[in-house]
Amino acid sequence: MSDLNIAMSWLGGLAIAAPLALVLFLGIASLLDRRLTESATTKAIRAAIGIGLLACLGVLVLMLISGKRHVVVVLGRWVETEDFHVTVKFVFDRLSVPFALLSFVLSGTIASFAERYMHREAGYNRFFVLYAVFLLGMIVASLSGTIETLFLGWELVGLSSALLVAFYQERLGPARNGLWIWSVYRVSDAALLLAAVVLHHMTGRGDFHRLLGEAAWPEGQASATGTEAFVVGLLLLIAAAGKSGLIPFCGWLPRAMEGPTPSSAVFYGALSVHLGAFLLLRVSPLIDCSPALGAVLVVLGLATAGLAYLIGRVQTDIKAILSFASLSQVGVIVAEIGLGFRYLALVHLLGHACLRTLQFIRAPSLLHDYHGLENALGKHLTHAPPPFLRWAKPDTLARIYRFAFERAYLDSFLLTCFVLPFVRVFRRCDELERAWTGWLQGNRSGAEDESKTPSLGMEEVT
């Protein structure tokens, strides 16, 4: 191995090790109940992000010098048995390096913002522990070279996001929304895990290059047949839809705005919401194998973009408006991926994430900005309806408004078609079991106790 390769491997390892060390430092201190001061936490975060960012930049520079477009850093076999193994492998290429750099830059920006925003907040330490877990998850997911490592990062991002939504835990709304988001993420995780299993069956390993070809992204040639590509791609699409809030999962996005503004900005405005699109970009050679899959992506992306635009128009708080604006762009990015415009989608993703982060962190001072703008113009800002709705009659407009206001009834659809029937069926089973146990005990107290319980309230599951 040449010196350049060794240097790239070390720097690549350092880019992963820095956020991992941050998680261990903050996490172990919390477990041992050693309260870190705000300045110690800040210094640790700055150091970890700085080292990680520099290491990632170092890899990029060395890649440019050596002309290599695909650097693989293998940290070793994590688990190895005769018929099963998991390799810890990270890939630095034209997709992962920009995304990892973006994650470090935006996370660093938001960390600086959050230091002041969260100053003397009761959950300061909790926020930054979850923030560190999120950062680690993002870096691992962006640089992953196997589907197992991707899954590891994916899960860390999901858990930290759900817990950050529930950050203001004395209010019920954030807790319920956190649960909703976690449930959507778990479905998405299940789809990703199933895709990993199918991938293992197809290639014998979870390595991306086995499925997507040895060539550097995006020139890889997938080794799957059209049907195989469609099945795996569809599972990955479900995973991406859950993570990026595509139809039918878009209901979680405004719910995520219950969290602190810094986390909303970095997670749902910039990074987390793009993770689904990133996954689709990573497996884009697979999409080339199945035109049907590409068509599904285009339709889903455009439908999500259109719907998010409509819903965003009727929102009344700035964070919700921004989240749907973000979603409409993610929809367009997904459509671009479906159409095969890889670089366009990547550039769109990077630019959009930066713009949206800026908008989110300006959100708390929106009214101030508005007043400044109106003072400068010397008149009130106008709010004209979109051009294509000017022809619509008032009752049609009202219907469209209602449709958008109810967020296309997607949450109600998921609730009434899946959640409530599930809960009712198993609550009934529970009653029957209690009655059966009561009968075996020689009394019916168990069944009677349960019959006195209140019926299922919507607030319990929403």
Which residues lie near another protein (CB under 8 A)? 30-33, 77-84, 86, 126, 148, 151-152, 155-156, 159, 162, 166, 169-170, 172, 174-176, 178-179, 182-183, 186-187, 189-190, 193-194, 197-198, 200-201, 422-423, 426-427, 429-430, 433, 436-437, 440-442, 453, 460
| Local structure of residue 418 (DSSP, 8 states) | I
Sign for the CA dihedral angle at 23, 26, 30, 31 comes to: positive
User: Which CB sits closer to another protein, 169 or 412?
Assistant: 169
Q: Least distance from C-beta 125 to another protein, angstroms?
A: 9
Query: Angle, nearest 10°, between helix axes 147-165 and 124-143?
Result: 160
Cα 376 from Cα 120, distance rounded (Å) = 36
Q: Least distance from C-beta 428 to another protein, angstroms?
A: 10
Query: Angle, nearest 10°, between helix axes 3-31 and 38-66?
Result: 160
User: Which CB sits closer to another protein, 29 or 303?
Assistant: 29
Q: Least distance from C-beta 215 to another protein, angstroms?
A: 28
Q: Least distance from C-beta 186 to another protein, angstroms?
A: 5
Q: Least distance from C-beta 84 to another protein, angstroms?
A: 5
Residue 21: how many other CB atoms lie within 10 Å: 18
Cα 143 from Cα 1, distance rounded (Å) = 21
Q: Least distance from C-beta 26 to another protein, angstroms?
A: 12
User: Which CB sits closer to another protein, 219 or 450?
Assistant: 450
Q: Least distance from C-beta 154 to another protein, angstroms?
A: 9
Residue with tokens 């113009």: 377
Identity of residue 287: I
Burial letters 241-270, b for 16+ CB under 10 A, else e: bbbbbbbbbbbbbbbbbbbbbbbbbbbbbb
Q: Least distance from C-beta 161 to another protein, angstroms?
A: 12
Structure tokens at 22: 């941050």
Contact criterion met (CB below 8 Å) for 146 and 87? yes
Q: Which residues contact 305 (CB under 8 A, 6 or more apart)?
A: 327, 328, 329, 330, 331, 332, 335
User: Which CB sits closer to another protein, 84 or 388?
Assistant: 84
The alpha carbons of the chain give a radius of gyration, in whole angstroms, of 24
Q: Least distance from C-beta 195 to another protein, angstroms?
A: 11
Residue (of 12, 93, 106, 16) closest to 58 by Cα position: 12
Q: Least distance from C-beta 436 to another protein, angstroms?
A: 6
Cα 86 from Cα 78, distance rounded (Å) = 6
Backbone angles phi, psi at 220, to 5 degrees: -60, 150
Contact criterion met (CB below 8 Å) for 445 and 438? yes
User: Which CB sits closer to another protein, 199 or 333?
Assistant: 199
User: Which CB sits closer to another protein, 68 or 126?
Assistant: 126
Cα 58 from Cα 18, distance rounded (Å) = 14
Identity of residue 257: M
User: Which CB sits closer to another protein, 175 or 215?
Assistant: 175
Strand, coil or helix: what is 427?
Answer: helix
User: Which CB sits closer to another protein, 336 or 411?
Assistant: 411
User: Which CB sits closer to another protein, 205 or 342?
Assistant: 205
User: Which CB sits closer to another protein, 214 or 433?
Assistant: 433
Contact criterion met (CB below 8 Å) for 129 and 48? no
Q: Least distance from C-beta 364 to another protein, angstroms?
A: 24
Count the alpha carbons within 13 Å of 456 in the hemisphere toward its beta carbon: 16
User: Which CB sits closer to another protein, 150 or 361?
Assistant: 150
